[in-house]
Amino acid sequence: MAEETLATILIGESHYAAIATAAQETLAFTPEKRGCDLIFFDAWKHSLRYPFTVETDGQTVLNPDMAQSISTIAYNYDKVELITVLGGGHHLALTLLDNGHPMDVILPDRPDLSLRDDATLVSVDFAKAIFLQLIATPFTSLACLKAAFPELPFAQIECPPANGDDDYVRSHLGNYFEANYSPEQLDAISSPAQRYKFWKLQSEMYADKCLELGIDYMRVPEPAISADGFLKPEHFGSDSTHANAAYGRIILDTIEARLGQKFMAWNSFG
């Protein structure tokens, strides 16, 4: 009896890139032959402005084009798994550079982490409420995906841990910040403790949201995290925000463990 075909659909914004790159480097590209395949959404084609949700009759729903693509894939495979890497960069948008109003928190399980003297201390609840102003969109996308495909196994992957290396962060801020911020601002990056804390807060918010929506939440696996909770240097990406393909491969391994089988090939859509 032929083995069941399984499509793992990966949908994300920028953090899916590490996983997709790892897939391209370690899997075959076979658009026709089906097996256990990773099929990712080509967010890069839409300059990260792809509307995952649309308003229809006063309701917010999954973009019909996305829904159709997923349905088409589902039609062509025996089983489908949905994996998302939505959002993820907002903790850095809030804290990476000193925007004149540094913010800091005390994590209840890590009161030992240093506090910036010049930061406004806010409660974790208040910080999360401020955060929510930024991450409402990916939360809505998760909800709409789940609503459109309630029966599909669905997991959101935790975004990569923060980069704890100040020198690396300073020297890899990227063109946008370098073009729009003064040298003083570029030098005034957040502290590693701040970057860790806000990554953790954001992760908690995603975990809570996924629990609420009935979506599994896949934490970053241990091999990808340093002893003090940061992204390992060997996994640093080309900028201070993202991880590289080696990290992506670890995530692929984690997904394969969840599936109980190895990927054979990759493909993309969108």
The binding site for another protein (CB under 8 A) comprises: 13-14, 17, 20-21, 24, 29, 42-45, 47-49, 89-90, 92-94, 99, 101, 103, 105-106, 108, 111, 115, 120-126, 129-130, 133-134, 174-177, 180, 237-239, 241-242, 268
Is the CB of 148 or the CB of 252 nearer to another protein? 252
b/e 15-54 (16+ beta carbons within 10 angstroms → b): bbbbbbbbbbeebeeeeeebbbbbbbbebeeeeeebebbe
CB of 214 to another protein, least distance (A): 24
CB of 122 to another protein, least distance (A): 6
- Burial grade of 259 (CB within 10 A; 0-12, 13-18, 19 or more): middle
Is the CB of 36 or the CB of 103 nearer to another protein? 103
Is the CB of 93 or the CB of 152 nearer to another protein? 93
CB of 1 to another protein, least distance (A): 31
CB of 4 to another protein, least distance (A): 26
CB of 215 to another protein, least distance (A): 22
Is the CB of 121 or the CB of 257 nearer to another protein? 121
Is the CB of 146 or the CB of 209 nearer to another protein? 209
